[in-house]
Amino acid sequence: MKIVLDGVVDENTSRYLDKYFYREFKKATVQFYDYEEFYNGLIGATDKLISDINSQYYKNQNELLKMKNLAVSGELGYLDIKEGETIADKVKDTVKYVNEELNNITKFNYSVNLFQFTGDRYRGSLYYGRVLEIKQKVISAYERILQELLKEEVSKTKVKETVSFVSTIEKKLIEYGLEGFLEEKGISFSKVIQLIKTRGCEFSICLFHHLDYLEYLKRNYCERQNREELHKLVANFFNIPKRRAKGNINVLTPHSKERKEVYTSVNNRTEVVEWISQNKLGHDNPK
């Protein structure tokens, strides 16, 4: 978190965060930090900022809905009834107010209070849009490092595995119809592949679930639409044990008994839904 916020609050680095995160990784290598460890740590820090805003947003949504329900049920008291007004008028006004708030207020209206969030270590606030921008800068710096390692033909095993994984899974997903499937939804195949490369299988399984790609696979590529066949297929995509694929798929379904602390695809749900919404055609996202 310190690296992220130091870069954000410093006027000299806040405008060039991707370059700042790149330089900080170069410094971290002296202390033997691995590129994956370093950048996943930064992504985790931005996720905590997003989580803080999510908490504020959903708390306010719940409070508004509670107010509406109390008004409709007649349990909400009114002390400011003017002459000629009725309780029914006040209920109508309350419902109208709540509906307008629910329609107009988005997460982009919320910010992280850095003073409260960090216990007085930092001052100021970060709005949701800025936090998303910071996270994208982290990912851009991460991608730059990966590209450099590839160009230099570094022989580190983890880099080779990453490159092989991305190349292999892209071919597999093309073979299993993802490119055409995404085209019909107006979502860039190359952007999805980039996400898979940087975020890994748990995030990707959650993304496939919310895109309905898992249902597409089951209908079109699994004999008798068998879920076990689906688990085997997804495990093959990511070169992971079938049980890991099964757990991360099942945990996304209602009333799942899978352990969320073990199968963590569900933790990506909010970010995945937002990413899909922002990356469909019509959201400044050419195919």
Please state the domain extents for the chain: 1-154, 157-287
Cα–Cα distance measured from residue 5 to residue 24, given in angstroms and rounded to the nearest whole number: 13
pLDDT at 268 over 60: yes
What does the pLDDT look like over 84-111, one tens digit per residue?
Answer: 878 888 889 889 988 998 888 888 988 8
The reported pTM is: 0.49
Cα–Cα distance measured from residue 197 to residue 74, given in angstroms and rounded to the nearest whole number: 53
Using alpha carbons, select from 107, 149, 101 the residue that is nearest to residue 130: 107
CB atoms within 10 A of CB 197: 19
Q: So what's the pLDDT on residue 162? A: 55
Q: So what's the pLDDT on residue 283? A: 40
Q: Structure tokens of 198?
A: 């940087």
Q: So what's the pLDDT on residue 117? A: 80
Report the range of poorest mean pLDDT among 95-109, 173-187, 273-287.
273-287
Residue carrying the six token digits 């996202």: 285
Q: Which secondary-structure segment (H or E) carries 108?
A: none
Q: So what's the pLDDT on residue 74? A: 82
Q: So what's the pLDDT on residue 282? A: 42
Average pLDDT over residues 206-231: 90
What does the pLDDT look like over 6-57, one tens digit per residue?
Answer: 878 888 888 888 898 888 888 888 877 788 888 888 988 898 899 888 888 8
Phi, psi of 127 (to 5 degrees): -75, 160
pLDDT at 160 over 80: no
What does the pLDDT look like over 135-156, one tens digit per residue?
Answer: 988 888 888 888 877 766 545 5
* CA gyration radius, the chain: 23
pLDDT at 206 over 90: yes
Phi, psi of 223 (to 5 degrees): -60, 125
Q: Which secondary-structure segment (H or E) carries 111?
A: strand 111-113
pLDDT at 165 over 80: no
pLDDT at 286 over 90: no
Q: So what's the pLDDT on residue 10? A: 82
pLDDT at 231 over 90: yes
What value does the mean pLDDT of the chain take?
84
Quick one: pLDDT band at residue 158, thresholds 50, 70, 90?
A: low
